[in-house]
Every structure is written in C-alpha cells, then in structure tokens.
Amino acid sequence: VKVVIKGRVQGVFYRNWTVDNAAELGLKGWVRNRRDGSVEALFSGSPEKVRQMENRCRSGPPDAIVTGVDVFPSSEDPGITFERKPTV
C-alpha cells in the first residue's frame, strides 16, 4: 500500500522512525518527505504486518502530531529492502 501521513510529521524524525518500524516488521518499501509537508511511504509485506505499520503511522514518533493517514492500493515495486528516499 501507499500511505500519506499528514500533520506535524517533518522535522520530528518521522522517516527514521518509519525505517526502524518497517524493518522490525520485516516490510519492504520506502519512505520520503513531500514538499507539501506530508510524509509518503510504500509498505509491502504480509497483510497483517502492513496493517500493523498503518496503525503505527497513525501515532508516529513521540514529537509527531498526525492529523491524517490516507492509504491507497499500490502495485509499485517495493524493492528488496526498506529505505529512506529523497524529498519529492
């Protein structure tokens, strides 16, 4: 799935937190900041682990204030690891 997280999610280590949590759950994909202030991520793995990650994104790291999480189906290739990508 592709996920867009809105709120105070930049400048609070959200991407690093996402990389750590995705690795813990064994997910593949990526995370990046968007110029509009949101964070975008692609999560691929077992449906249960992807749902767990979606739920974690609703809280985020301690300094984040998440106001919305939009989840979209995606057929994009997640790659072989989980990585942090440059801002888009």
- For residue range 61-80, list pLDDT tens digits in order: 999 999 999 999 999 999 99
Thinking of the domain 2-76, which architecture would CATH place it in?
A: 2-Layer Sandwich (3.30)
The residue behind tokens 């759950």 is: 25
Nearest to 68 by CA among 17, 8, 16: 8
Position 56 scores a pLDDT of: 98
Assess whether 15 carries a catalytic annotation: yes
pLDDT of residue 33: 98
For this structure, is 21 an active site residue? Answer: no
Global confidence as pTM: 0.96
pLDDT in tens, 11-40: 999 999 999 999 999 999 999 999 999 999
Q: Which two tokens stand for residue 77?
A: 């290739």
From the candidates 15, 55, 56, 58, which is the catalytic residue?
15
* pLDDT for residue 64: 98
Q: Which of 8, 21, 33, 35 is catalytic?
A: 33
Read off the pLDDT of each residue in 49-55 and give the average, rounded to a whole number: 98
Stated as kind and residue range, the H or E segment containing 50 is: helix 47-57
